[in-house]
Amino acid sequence: MVIKKAINDPETLVREIAEGVVFASHGRVRLTEGLPVLVRTAIEPGKVGIVVGGGSGHEPMYQGLIGPGFADAVACGNMFAAPTPDVILAATREADQGKGVLYLQANYAGDNMNYEIAAEMAADEGFTTRTVRTGEDVSMAPELGRRGLAGSFFTLKVAGAACGEGADLDRAAEIAQRVADNLRSLSVAFSPGSLPDTGEKTFEIAEDEIEVGMGVHGEKGVATLKMAKADPLTDLMIDKLAGDYPLAAGDRVALLVNDMGATTLMELYVVTRRAHQRLADLGVQVVDTWIGPYCTTQEMAGFSLTLLRTDAEIERLLARPAANESFLRP
């Protein structure tokens, strides 16, 4: 099979992604010797360190979310695979500034296991860590352990702001957990992504069908529907998200409209328009909106919607300036 992607050897792909981030940062990010760990070169002394990381292939999550107000170190896994404990431990050593390290990870079995092992290894070396898992996929029952989707961005954005303001480790973990508890996401796919190393599609779908409830690795959704226009599809998704809390009139939310990889900005604006209208119908105020590719699945066509129910502190931290060192910098 011919793989139509601008890559070289699949065996060196993760390393080359990380090297690209380093070059794009112009000295603000470096790569740990021998391991796929990205590190800020000027972490503020005395702050709580933040380590994120998961499978590669979802860029800019997480490699593109490193910088002041975001992650201090990124543990890079192989394609759609969790980073190994030794990689997470190396990221911990790099991020620690003497005040402990906060692990922010998406809720997947491999990530859970490897971060737990890394935390034990870090404790043996004298590091103090806390872990917050983001799992907000409303297509799954809460008791089954919901998958993490693009909402991980909000967890990182708020926790990064809190650590930048000097929050201690326990306080930063509490704020991050509050964000994770108030997230809801749902995704829809029009066409599949592919595995970068093999070119194989992540799932099959008919030309006139869409998948609702996709996972970020290309897992099939919970429902296969006929293709719908933007407004009724957005209504379905917003109603599912709002009903899961449930949201009440007067509630305030931040909205993330995430491109799954091959959806045009034109389409995202159309969806954003309808999401705002539908939330207004419910009496819910949107305090901030984020649009674009935040957590992708290669060239999958589709989008996800994330709502974060906010409070005054979360809103203040969301608004705090932050800088991606290698992705969409102003």
Residue 296, domain extent:
183-309
In a domain, 147, yes or no: yes
Kindly state whether residues 170 and 200 are assigned to the same domain: no
Note down pLDDT in tens along the chain; length 330 residues.
778 899 999 999 999 999 999 999 999 999 999 999 999 999 999 999 999 999 999 999 999 999 999 999 999 999 999 999 999 999 999 999 999 999 999 999 999 999 999 999 999 999 999 999 999 999 999 988 999 999 999 999 999 999 999 999 999 999 999 999 999 999 999 999 898 888 888 888 899 999 999 888 888 778 899 999 999 999 999 999 999 999 999 999 999 999 999 999 999 999 999 999 999 999 999 999 999 999 999 999 999 999 999 999 999 999 999 999 888 766
Kindly state whether residues 142 and 209 are assigned to the same domain: no
DSSP one-letter string for 206-266: -TTEEEES--TT----SEEEE---HHHHHHHHHHHHHHHTT--TT-EEEEEEEE-SS--HH
Tell me the residue length of the chain. 330
Catalytic residue of the set 28, 40, 47, 58: 58
Predicted confidence at residue 77, as pLDDT, reads 97
Taking the C-alpha atoms of residue 214 and residue 220, their distance in angstroms, rounded to an integer, is 5
In a domain, 77, yes or no: yes
- 276 catalytic, yes or no? no
Kindly state whether residues 162 and 224 are assigned to the same domain: no
pTM of the predicted model over 0.95: yes
Kindly state whether residues 235 and 250 are assigned to the same domain: yes
In a domain, 289, yes or no: yes
Last residue of a domain, one of 181, 210, 228: 181
DSSP one-letter string for 3-58: --SS-S-GGGHHHHHHHHHHHHHTTSEEE-TTS-EEEESSPPTTSPEEEE--EESS
CATH of the domain at 20: 3.40.50.10440
In a domain, 280, yes or no: yes
Kindly state whether residues 187 and 167 are assigned to the same domain: no
CATH of the domain at 295: 3.30.1180.20
Predicted confidence at residue 330, as pLDDT, reads 60
Kindly state whether residues 223 and 288 are assigned to the same domain: yes
Last residue of a domain, one of 138, 153, 181: 181
Kindly state whether residues 200 and 161 are assigned to the same domain: no
Tell me the C-alpha to C-alpha distance, in Å, between residue 279 and each of 193, 199, 289.
30, 39, 12
Kindly state whether residues 129 and 208 are assigned to the same domain: no
Q: How many CA atoms lie within 13 A of 245 on its CB side?
A: 24
Catalytic residue of the set 217, 274, 278, 309: 217
In a domain, 315, yes or no: no
Kindly state whether residues 121 and 203 are assigned to the same domain: no
In a domain, 153, yes or no: yes
Nearest to 261 by CA among 312, 193, 208: 193
Last residue of a domain, one of 120, 154, 181: 181
Kindly state whether residues 29 and 111 are assigned to the same domain: yes
Kindly state whether residues 176 and 55 are assigned to the same domain: yes
* Count of the separate structural domains present in the chain: 2
Predicted confidence at residue 304, as pLDDT, reads 98
In a domain, 65, yes or no: yes
In a domain, 46, yes or no: yes
Taking the C-alpha atoms of residue 118 and residue 105, their distance in angstroms, rounded to an integer, is 12
Kindly state whether residues 228 and 131 are assigned to the same domain: no
236 contacts: CB under 8 Å, gap ≥ 6: 212, 228
